[in-house]
Amino acid sequence: MDIRAAVAHAPGQPLTLETVQLDGPRSGEVLVEIKATGLCHTDAYTLSGKDPEGLFPAILGHEGAGVVVEVGAGVTSLQAGDHVIPLYVPECRNCEFCLSQKTNLCQAIRLTQGRGMMPDGSSRFSLQGKPLHHYMGTSTFANYTVVPEIALAKIRPDAPFDKVCYIGCGVTTGLGAVINTAKVEPGSKVIVFGLGGIGLNVIQGARLVGADMIVGVDINDRKRPLAEKFGMTHFVNPQEVAGDLVTCLLDLTHGGADYTFECIGNVDIMRQALESCHKGWGESIIIGVAGSGEEIRTRPFQLVTGRVWRGTAFGGAKGRTDVPKIVDWYMNGKINIDDLITHTLPLDQINEGFELMHHGEGIRSVVVF
Ligand code: NAD
Ligand code: AHE
Ligand code: ZN
């Protein structure tokens, strides 16, 4: 079938709107009509050419929501008409990783996903007879996509697509980093570096679990009012700190935070986030994604003296199990998504959404089809 998609032809170039050919779902696959998709900084990162796994030409996008149109042979858990959120971290419930109960990083299809292919090693997308790469197993910058059954969370039918698409990455990543990865306790002191689409969800999660002190760090003062609405108790703009940022944060928290979260993708700030942790027990969670060849550094003494460095992908969430529950949290008013979606655009304005992100305007842009 012919579909409309925003195609990434080459790194650093704007996406181009194209009529693309999409093959139907094969065994274990599902055809989904995408109704809405968020723009995450990771899409911009891959488009920039900094992602070592970045492949071109490709259809990017990994924060979508839509409706099942057709299922391939052997698909049992979904049927036409079901509302779904595609998962860039699938949940097969059968691989060594899923069965370990120690990680959400299902590896059932990770190899082909990283090669921009469906699990059988081929692509469903083509443009003028030439294959296009899938992206993160989701490719939501298209009005139709094909996704493996194990990479779809079935959600309630009354949830609005243009809001819950954000649960496909940013919301779950931020909340999950607090709840699943750090396991922040009530009364904790927390520092969040980067108050964008992920950082504000970390703040929302920290307030939800009862953190006492939630410090936000960002170079953009315009992020402050919304961060305060979501639970930030103190704001620090590093550009307005006279001396060393870490010293400032250690003073503010009286010895360091119990938990810090890096939500930027800057390896120098990852170091500052670790070193802002309390001696003996502070834990720093890396969420931000850094460019090819970049590395983190610190004095080993920071770890010897009890600080812990961790990372999290998709907030440690098991998508098919946890995503429907987070949709319920939104529908029941437990979490706020609406205020974070600051811009809604049609697909043909998708590049303007990335411009807004690069200029620090708003929080999340959502494309509606
Ligand atoms: P965003 O662009 O919405 O937010 C980034 C924020 O960082 C902005 O508010 C910006 O002003 C701030 N910032 C930039 N440089 C700064 C600096 N030097 N000091 C302080 N603040 C600074 O991005 P996002 O969508 O929230 O994504 C944040 C990061 O998380 C990206 O690296 C993204 O790729 C990554 N990410 C990771 C996962 C995961 O599963 N680990 C999931 C989603 C996103
Ligand atoms: N491909 C990059 C890493 C990109 C990355 O870290 N992706 C995160 C999700 S970011 C969502 O906005 C992730 O889930 N990683 C786990 C995985 O298996 O990809 C690189 O550096 O190679
Ligand atoms: Zn993302």
For residue 367, name the pLDDT band (cuts at 50, 70, 90): very high
> How far apart are the C-alpha atoms of 9 and 180, rounded to whole Å?
37
Judge if 184 and 290 occupy the same domain. Answer: yes
Judge if 148 and 205 occupy the same domain. Answer: no
What is the tens place of the pLDDT at every residue in 267-310? 999 999 999 999 999 999 999 999 999 999 999 999 999 999 99
Supply angle C-alpha 161, 357, 182, rounded to 5: 75
Q: Which of 271, 296, 312 is the last residue of a domain?
A: 312
Is 263 tagged catalytic? no
Q: Report the pLDDT averaged over residues 93-99.
A: 98
pLDDT at residue 44 in the model: 98
Domain limits for position 201: 174-312
- ipTM score above 0.85: yes
pLDDT at residue 66 in the model: 98
Domain count, the chain: 2
30 lies in some domain: yes
Q: Which residue's C-alpha comes closest to atom 1 of ligand 1?
A: 196
**Does residue 365's CB lie within 6 angstroms of at least one atom of ligand 2?**
no
CATH of residue 305: 3.40.50.720
DSSP string, 198-211: THHHHHHHHHHTT-
CB of 199 closer than 8 Å to CB of 218: yes
pLDDT at residue 113 in the model: 98
Judge if 236 and 258 occupy the same domain. Answer: yes
Q: Report the pLDDT averaged over residues 68-92.
A: 98
Judge if 33 and 120 occupy the same domain. Answer: yes
What's the gap in Å between 159 CA and the centre of ligand 1?
Answer: 27
What is the tens place of the pLDDT at every residue in 169-228? 999 999 999 999 999 999 999 999 999 999 999 999 999 999 999 999 999 999 999 999
Residue 172 structure tokens: 């779950």
Whole-prediction pTM value? Answer: 0.98
pLDDT at residue 256 in the model: 98
Judge if 131 and 49 occupy the same domain. Answer: yes
Residue 336 structure tokens: 């706020």
pLDDT at residue 16 in the model: 98
Judge if 9 and 129 occupy the same domain. Answer: yes
pLDDT at residue 139 in the model: 98
Judge if 220 and 341 occupy the same domain. Answer: no
Is 41 tagged catalytic? yes
CATH of residue 44: 3.90.180.10
